[in-house]
Amino acid sequence: MINYELVGISVLWLFLYGYLIVASIDFGAGFFAFYAKATKQDHLINRLISRYLSPVWEITNVFFVFFLIGIIGFFPSTAYYYGSSLIVPGSIAVVLLAIRGSFYAFENYGSKKSLIYLFLYGATGLLIPASLSVALTVSEGGFIIENGGVVSLKYWTLLTSPLSWSIVGLSVVSVLFISGAFLSFYAARANDQPALKLLRTFALFWSTPTIIAAFTAIIYLSVHNERHFNNMMDLWWLLALSVGFFLVAIWLLYKGQRYGLAFMCIMLQFLCAFFAYGIGQYPYILDPYITIQEGATQEAMGIALVSAFIGGLLLLIPSLILVFRLFLFDADYVKGNK
């Protein structure tokens, strides 16, 4: 029988991946909306963006809470180490998420016209991934000290580490890349040529920094955590697959056809890279304090969580399919006829 802790971490990793995709679309859209407004092109894309994002923003947020509660549930010691050390970056992320969440509530009622609010909305879209990516950096080890039962973050080490900055850079540019590609697909479905033209430029523009940042992060990882790097290199085929999907996506975007397939390729590109990264980190959740085996919750709770998870999915998957059919694949809705 498979260990419940392995099931747990795989499920959580999959959810984090899900969050990465849906949140990227959301965060990047915020930046594009601001950029378009500042360059007076907002009439082209803002309606398109809000049409897709408004019904799903809450779902995006739930993905995050789900991962958070899930990891504390399966691995309670993560609460102790990450909770104690990430008190400042974590709280910053909450404040940013709050500004952003309130935007959706208030957007229908006039805030969209305010450039300042739109700036905040765009800026949070880039700052949230940056502040959340600190948790990934910290998991590589060397940024946390435990002294007499007090866990704290070494801020100076973190702020001067090239690894942490390369991960921040990667998170920001991939957000823009993923978002640009998705919105191109959405614009293509809506048959909105001017929006498509603009968004396709965004997607193509951000593809190069994404791949460069990815390689930079891997290089700094090899300096910082050799074990993790070597494990990832053993999974070279997954990384190669990721690059392959990337190239197909870029080619499709460049040719300007099959935007849906291009976006699927980008999703697969990030899936491969994300799992190569995650599997390479095994068996650690936080190097060297928490391993998957020792940090796991009690067996009874682990099994209960896995069962709750399966039950929950039976409820969620049909509902999510319904949402997609209503708002994503209903051509009439996308075009704005409904």
Which residues, numbered 39-98, are part of the site for other proteins (CB under 8 A)? 54-56, 58-59, 61-62, 64-66, 68-70, 72-74, 76-84, 86-88, 90-91, 93-95, 97-98
3-state secondary structure of 114: coil
Does residue number 119 form part of the binding site for other proteins (CB under 8 A)? no
- Which residue, among 12, 8, 66, 11, has the nearest Cα to 302 in the 3D structure? 8
Does residue number 38 form part of the binding site for other proteins (CB under 8 A)? no
- The secondary structure of 268-330 as a DSSP string is HHHHHHHHHHHHHHTTEEETTTEEHHHH---HHHHHHHHHHHHHHHHHHHHHHHHHHHHHTS-
Cα gap 277→234, rounded to integer Å: 11
Cα gap 139→30, rounded to integer Å: 28
Work out how close the CB of 245 gets to other proteins at its nearest, in angstroms, rounded to a whole number.
29
# chain residues binding other proteins, by CB under 8 A: 64
Dihedral angle computed from the Cα positions of residues 317, 322, 324 and 328, in that order, rounded to the nearest 10 degrees: 180
CA distances 18 to 22, 24, 36, 52, Å, are 6, 10, 27, 17
Does residue number 269 form part of the binding site for other proteins (CB under 8 A)? no
Token match 């915020």: residue?
30
Q: Which stretch binds other proteins (CB under 8 A): 18-26, 30-38, 270-278, 309-317?
A: 309-317
Figure out which of the listed residues 194, 288, 312, 336 binds other proteins, where binding follows CB under 8 A: 312
Of 154 and 258, CB closest to other proteins: 154
Does residue number 156 form part of the binding site for other proteins (CB under 8 A)? no
Task: Report the relative pairing of strands 150-153 and 284-286 from DSSP bridges.
Answer: unpaired
Of 162 and 336, CB closest to other proteins: 336
Amino acid at residue number 235: L
Of 229 and 327, CB closest to other proteins: 327
Does residue number 298 form part of the binding site for other proteins (CB under 8 A)? yes
Exposed (0-12), middle (13-18) or buried (19+): which is 9, by Cβ within 10 Å?
Answer: buried
Does residue number 331 form part of the binding site for other proteins (CB under 8 A)? no
Judged by the rule CB under 8 A, the positions of this chain that interact with other proteins are: 54-56, 58-59, 61-62, 64-66, 68-70, 72-74, 76-84, 86-88, 90-91, 93-95, 97-98, 101-102, 104-106, 109-110, 149-152, 297-298, 300-301, 304-305, 308-309, 312, 315-316, 319-320, 322-323, 326-327, 338
